Amino acid sequence: MMKTIQFPKKEDWGELLKRPTRTFKDIETTVDDIFKNIQQGGDQAVLKYTSMFDGVDLKSFEVSAEEIDQAQSQVSDPLKSAIQLAKSNIHKFHEAQKTEPVKVETQPGVTCWQAKKPIQKVGLYIPGGTAPLFSTILMLAVPAKIAGCSEIVLCTPPDKLGKINPVTLYTAQLCGIDKVFKVGGIQAIGAMTFGTETIPKVYKIFGPGNQYVTVAKQVATTFDVAIDMPAGPSELLVVADETANPEFVASDLLSQAEHGFDSQVVLVSTDEPMIDKVKVAIENQLKELPRKEMAAKAIENSKFVLVKDQSSALELIDFYGPEHFIISTKNDDYYVENINNAGSVFIGKYTPESAGDYASGTNHTLPTNGYAKQYSGVNLDSFNKAITYQKITEEGIRNIGEAVELMAEAEGLQAHKNAMTLRRNEVENK
């Protein structure tokens, strides 16, 4: 079941580290059909797909104030305190990401500046599925609020009784979100893309989901909607040497594996006995897990890779570009300083990935499928856009006017040149 791959050749890395995901094309046709129906049918189409995919017939899907109030009393005080602690840390870390406007005089009389403005309408997708990810609300709603987004819409799938998990509703209210809809999957992304009679259209959609949600988000970008990133099933890579604690490493691999059948976990090590110890620890810990079937299935997709030294390990890890990267070695700094491609990095044996998933303060909405090579995880800037401004005085016209004219003429754009020439003439004739 858990085979170790020893010293793989570089040309085999692509095949070896392939994610266990279906291709975009498989799912795209389904998404196109559902989007078309939602675009035309609005709420009725969304209700139809909720019945089809979630197995529940709803009359309407907006969560009522009464349901939100009831949820408050159904969440235990210790859990409320835990969520408040996490929210406080996430708020601190994202608040610290605010930047001052940048203003510079590029030439005397030519002033350019940049200021951040919030994206006004954002949609948050919170998976329900096999585990309601209420922690994702904190990761998305907290920075959205700090950025100043004026409309925040939350969609999450209902259970078979047409209800939303009380912890999800408690967390949404704690974060100040008042528009919560019982809609999941492709139909949720479609509803936020086009808008329906009930669900507002948004400018940008955030949040993780299964492969259907991932493809739906990518299709949404063809309808003038932005997305945070193409985030698919969750993944984790651990690099460990003989100094690591095999029990800790096993627990980290299993914590990721229990997300879903299509999660992928990878252990890279320079020490074969460590790999063997981790495998034994996985077998023992797996027996105790309530979601052991899910985790066992994901462990089948896992890879245990033996490499000859830390530079080979680093090269392989950078090639893979893990969503989560845990470092447990005698020389952690080597990896910290040299890694280029990772969504979020967890350093040292006392830093489990689950800390970042919940309460340390960093964001857990991260790029998967190797997208860490070109995407960042969600951060405060994800909810902002930068607008540039410029102001030119008469002195500025004298300093850059001729350069603008010459460049416009060289590109054959006479009207561009004229726009400057008219101003130069006026300034010079004063």
The model's pLDDT over 323-380, given as tens digits with 9 standing for 90+, comes to 999 999 999 999 999 999 999 999 999 999 999 999 999 999 999 989 999 999 999 9
Bridge partners, 369 (sequence order): none
CATH number at residue 60: 3.40.50.1980
pTM: 0.93
Structural domain of 412:
393-428
Q: Is residue 164 part of a domain?
A: yes
Q: Are residues 288 and 199 in the same domain?
A: no
| CB-based contact 187:158 (threshold 8 Å) | no
Q: Is residue 67 part of a domain?
A: yes
Mean pLDDT for the chain overall: 94
Q: Are residues 245 and 342 in the same domain?
A: yes
Q: Are residues 193 and 249 in the same domain?
A: no
At residue 209, the pLDDT reads: 83
Q: Is residue 366 part of a domain?
A: no
Q: Which residues are catalytic?
A: 323-324
The total of structural domains in the chain comes to 3
Last residue of a domain, one of 231, 260, 281: 231
Q: Is residue 300 part of a domain?
A: yes
Helices 166-174 and 65-73: crossing angle in degrees, nearest 10, is 100
Q: Are residues 134 and 264 in the same domain?
A: no
Q: Are residues 46 and 168 in the same domain?
A: yes
Q: Are residues 79 and 222 in the same domain?
A: yes
Q: Are residues 221 and 267 in the same domain?
A: no
Helices 166-174 and 135-147: crossing angle in degrees, nearest 10, is 20
Q: Is residue 68 part of a domain?
A: yes
Last residue of a domain, one of 199, 231, 263: 231
Per the annotation, where are the binding residues for NAD(+)?
Answer: 125, 187, 210
Q: Are residues 190 and 251 in the same domain?
A: no
How do 179-182 and 151-156 pair as beta strands? parallel
Structure tokens at 289: 């897990």
Q: Are residues 207 and 279 in the same domain?
A: no
| CB-based contact 352:66 (threshold 8 Å) | no
Per the annotation, where are the binding residues for substrate?
Answer: 234, 256, 259, 324, 357, 411, 416
At residue 211, the pLDDT reads: 83
Buried/exposed 153-191: b ≥16 CB within 10 Å, e otherwise: bbbbbbeeeebbbbbbbbbbbbbebebbbbbbbbbbbbb
Per the annotation, where are the binding residues?
Answer: 125, 187, 210, 234, 256, 259, 324, 357, 411, 416
At residue 261, the pLDDT reads: 74
How do 204-206 and 121-125 pair as beta strands? parallel
Structure tokens at 14: 């692509």
Residue pLDDT, tens place only, 267-282: 999 999 999 999 999 9
> Phi and psi for 380 in degrees, rounded to 5?
-60, -40
Q: Are residues 292 and 161 in the same domain?
A: no
- What is the rounded distance in angstroms from the CA atom of residue 226 to the CA atom of residue 122? 9
Walking along the chain (430 residues) 10 residues at a time, the average pLDDT comes out as 87 89 79 97 96 92 94 96 98 97 98 98 88 91 98 95 94 94 97 98 93 92 94 89 97 86 89 96 90 79 94 98 97 98 97 96 94 96 98 98 98 98 94
CA distances from 362 to 87, 142, 250, 377, 378 (A): 11, 12, 23, 9, 9
At residue 272, the pLDDT reads: 96
Q: Are residues 142 and 289 in the same domain?
A: no
- What is the rounded distance in angstroms from the CA atom of residue 209 to the CA atom of residue 260? 11
Bridge partners, 267 (sequence order): 238, 304
Q: Is residue 273 part of a domain?
A: yes
Q: Are residues 343 and 410 in the same domain?
A: no
